[in-house]
Structure 1
Amino acid sequence: MFGLETLDVLIGLMTVYFMFGIACTAIVEAISAWASIRSQNLETALKELFSGDLAPGQPFITKFFEHPLIQSLSKGENGRPSYIPPDLVARVVEALIVGRAATATLAAGVQLLPDTVDKNRIKGILETLVTQTGNDAARFRYAVAKQFDAVMDRASGWYKRRMQTTTLIVAAVLVLSGNIDSINLSTLLASNPDTRAKLVAIAHEKVTNELALRDKAKGDSVQQAEEKVKIAETKYDSAVSELQSAGFTLGWKEYPHDFIGWLTKVAGLLVTIFAVSLGGPFWFDILQRVMQVRSTGPKPSPVGK
């Protein structure tokens, strides 16, 4: 029985991490949508790739975003897409180059790109690709798409690092505002069978229902951003109400009275912040596996009997 009680304490902690983790994930996604972080990241990557001019006084990146095929992916005349397929990037680059050459060949179009004092980086890149592909249009488009993929791999790293910082900040705000101390939670779960049983029931419900609730809002439009904010609010309110119904007291109603107490409190809060920052999907997968392990063991007695 001791083993099952210990497992239920772990399930209880994982359930808390999961509920606040999905709230944290939803809030971060809402922030990303409102701030257009993905589209900004894409634009930054393209500016690095397309550094230089298509014509004197005409930055290559500006003409790229003004192309009708790219405009069709953007919201509004000055909007920026959050994702562009690599093959579309290649077709637009080819159209911009060939459109500058009377002979309508890739090599001629690249040669017409201006030379600048600081060197036109995009001209150097395209000259290399034209040479490597033997001035073949299909091979050229493939090479441009591969180069774009390489740049976006780096951009994905920038995006992840940026969002990791945002996630830690959001997790810290959630945990500190609710005083969600892992050490205190463990003590309460270990000493209170009713609370353990309620959280195990909540965990079972979450594992059963969460898959149907995933990925309901995607994209970066204002309407989708508003939907993500609503989802974030719903998930946070749900986490708070379910924990309170299980017997947890959230908030700062009592404070430690000595150094050891504060040290324990800080340690418990830091553990929770790190756990919540891992996100809802991480804890869903772990919780799902642990619940499967628990289901193979003896069933606990009903609460209150």
Structure 2
Amino acid sequence: MNSVYIDLAIGLVLAFLLFSLLVSGVNEGLVRLLGIRSKFLWAYLTDTLDGVRGKRSWIPSSIGEVFARLPFSKDARPAFSPLPPPVDSTAKTWAGRLYERLREIDHGKSGKTSIASIPPGRFAVAMMEIVTSEGGVPALLDRLKADGSPLYGPLKGVWDAAHGDLEAFRKGVEDWFDGEMQRLTMLYRRYVRWVIAALGLVLTLVFSMDSLEYGRAILTDNAIRAQVAATADGGAQTLPALRDKCPDHPADPYGCVTEVLSAPAFVQIVGNAPVSVRIPENGSPTWTWNGGEWLHRLISPGHWPGFLITFFALLFGAPFWWDIFRRLTGIRARAGETTK
């Protein structure tokens, strides 16, 4: 009996793991396709270096802006350039001047920079190059103050703490930017959680995955397999019991067993999407429109608890379900891998 519950647990965890990986894959594909990370970083840098100046911030301030403004509105990123850093800056903004010092690590994508992560040490070196071009830190601070740049305050504090030591100033800028990137990463992840939740809801409804129904299907598969074993051991006198479990095949209960073993519970549950595919024994795969039945499942209150369980399960993410799956199956972690 314990093996039945273990099979049930492994089946559910495996389904949640695979669907979580699908959600993560779709999210990562959208992020790369739309350049979300790069846009998010340069929106922050534009606000930090050049200020808002009476306009709204480039950084999205609400979940609605994450879905609408950040991916599709005006892009804050500088135009990509394959040229090396110039001796004399031609940029009209501080974000543009920063990019001039960073574009040697860039590669073009849709005409805009694709830089999505700046090492703090590299940022500090870029700022020191700008310091040199401005004639020193005090001159740079005066220029930032005159332009109304929000960067003036942090750099002024770092310069005062450095007491005129350029190396201490560089290290202070590096530490400050490292802290800012950690804060920005936390903000980005907070928005990403909402995106993951939205994708999880969409995929749950698209596949109409009812976790409770899936659990019952796993138990049914196990019951039929157990009955097959009993029939094999008990002979023909146990065949009526197997026939009762296969009402669709009254004359050939073994055909039912074959169908169950060739179409396990997971295959059945992912077959509830609007378009399903069936692979026959001979011939090419056939695609079937399943929209009517799919819509009926969505509007049936009996499936809603299972949909809700699936949705909340996907919010835990693939790493969580992989850890649970590894513990249930006894798969050992690789050397040096730690459980978070």
- What is the TM-score when the length of structure 1 is the normalising length? 0.68
**3-state DSSP class of the match of 1:179?**
coil
> Residue 151 of structure 1 corresponds to which residue in structure 2?
180
> Residue 319 of structure 2 corresponds to which residue in structure 1?
281
> Residue 191 of structure 1 corresponds to which residue in structure 2?
220
**3-state DSSP class of the match of 1:72?**
helix
Change (3 A) 1:243 1:126: farther
> Residue 127 of structure 2 corresponds to which residue in structure 1?
93
Change (3 A) 1:247 1:121: closer
> Residue 211 of structure 2 corresponds to which residue in structure 1?
182
For the pair shown, the structure with the greater C-alpha radius of gyration is 2
Measure how far apart 1:130 and its partner are. Answer: 0.9
Q: Residue 97 of structure 1 contacts residue 110 of structure 1 at CA under 8 Å; is this kept in 2?
A: no
> Residue 263 of structure 1 corresponds to which residue in structure 2?
301
Residue correspondence of structure 1 range 8-87 to structure 2 within 5 A: 8-51=7-50, 58-67=92-101, 70-76=102-108, 78-87=112-121
> Residue 290 of structure 1 corresponds to which residue in structure 2?
328
Measure how far apart 1:139 and its partner are. Answer: 1.1
Measure how far apart 1:21 and its partner are. Answer: 1.3
**3-state DSSP class of the match of 2:164?**
coil
Measure how far apart 1:264 and its partner are. Answer: 3.4
Measure how far apart 1:115 and its partner are. Answer: 1.6
Letter matched to residue 113 of structure 2: G
2:168 paired with 1:139: yes
Residue correspondence of structure 1 range 122-133 to structure 2 within 5 A: 122-133=151-162
Measure how far apart 1:274 and its partner are. Answer: 2.1
Measure how far apart 1:44 and its partner are. Answer: 2.1
**3-state DSSP class of the match of 1:99?**
helix
Q: Residue 221 of structure 2 contacts residue 265 of structure 2 at CA under 8 Å; is this kept in 1?
A: no
> 2:45 and 2:97 mapped to 1: Cα distance?
12
2:272 paired with 1:250: yes
Measure how far apart 1:94 and its partner are. Answer: 1.3
> 1:168 and 1:174 mapped to 2: Cα distance?
10
Deviations 1:39-81, CA, capped at 9 Å, x for gaps: 112112222332359x9x93211211122xx101222374140
**3-state DSSP class of the match of 1:121?**
coil
Deviations 1:62-111, CA, capped at 9 Å, x for gaps: 211122xx10122237414011110010111111122111xxx3234433
Letter matched to residue 146 of structure 2: D
Measure how far apart 1:242 and its partner are. Answer: 8.3
Letter matched to residue 268 of structure 1: G
Measure how far apart 1:19 and its partner are. Answer: 1.3
Number of matched pairs: 237
**3-state DSSP class of the match of 1:171?**
helix
Identity of aligned residues (%): 22
Letter matched to residue 286 of structure 1: I
Deviations 1:179-237, CA, capped at 9 Å, x for gaps: 1101111111223217999xxxxxxxxxxxxxxxxxxxxxxxxxxxxxxxxxxxxxxxx
> 1:171 and 1:250 mapped to 2: Cα distance?
16
> 1:242 and 1:153 mapped to 2: Cα distance?
47
**3-state DSSP class of the match of 1:284?**
helix
**3-state DSSP class of the match of 2:272?**
coil
**3-state DSSP class of the match of 2:113?**
coil
Q: Residue 208 of structure 2 contacts residue 297 of structure 2 at CA under 8 Å; is this kept in 1?
A: no
Q: Residue 171 of structure 1 contacts residue 276 of structure 1 at CA under 8 Å; is this kept in 2?
A: yes
Change (3 A) 1:256 1:35: closer
Residue correspondence of structure 1 range 106-117 to structure 2 within 5 A: 106-116=137-147
Measure how far apart 1:246 and its partner are. Answer: 4.8
> 1:141 and 1:164 mapped to 2: Cα distance?
34
Q: Residue 172 of structure 1 contacts residue 273 of structure 1 at CA under 8 Å; is this kept in 2?
A: yes
Q: Residue 183 of structure 1 contacts residue 264 of structure 1 at CA under 8 Å; is this kept in 2?
A: no
> 1:159 and 1:78 mapped to 2: Cα distance?
20
Deviations 1:4-63, CA, capped at 9 Å, x for gaps: 21121111111111111111111111111111111112112222332359x9x9321121
> 1:244 and 1:191 mapped to 2: Cα distance?
9
> 2:13 and 2:263 mapped to 1: Cα distance?
14
**3-state DSSP class of the match of 2:323?**
helix
> 2:316 and 2:263 mapped to 1: Cα distance?
21
**3-state DSSP class of the match of 1:34?**
helix
- What is the TM-score when the length of structure 2 is the normalising length? 0.62
